[in-house]
């Protein structure tokens, strides 16, 4: 699995739902790093997979890839599910 910053994952997979596992936070910053487990256009599939993984893969997060048609000033689209 690929280790990547969550912000980079959002840019790499626009308009996709990303399940990241083995989450770690960089101390003193808002940066989160993890391994990409699944990339899918289906939101329900992403959440079902994250729930099914439970704690078996360390911390996990589901986030939505960047929408190139939306302003970055709109707010965070990350959804945490630890």
21 neighbors 37 (Cβ within 8 angstroms): yes
- The residue range of the domain holding 73 is 3-80
Residue 74 confidence class, pLDDT cut points 50, 70, 90 = very low
Q: What is the mean pLDDT of residues 24-29?
A: 77
44 neighbors 29 (Cβ within 8 angstroms): no
Residue 71 confidence class, pLDDT cut points 50, 70, 90 = low
Q: How far is CA 73 from the centre of its chain?
A: 19
Residue 72 confidence class, pLDDT cut points 50, 70, 90 = low
In the chain, the number of structural domains is 1
Model pTM? 0.77
């Amino acid at each position: 699995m690929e280790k990547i910053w969550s912000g980079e994952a959002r840019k790499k997979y626009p308009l996709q739902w990303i399940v990241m596992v083995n989450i770690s936070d960089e101390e003193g910053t808002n940066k989160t790093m993890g391994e990409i487990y699944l990339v899918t256009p289906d939101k329900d599939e992403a959440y079902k997979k994250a729930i099914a993984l439970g704690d078996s893969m360390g911390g996990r997060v589901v986030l939505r890839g960047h929408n190139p048609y939306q302003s970055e000033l709109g707010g965070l689209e990350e959804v945490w599910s630890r």
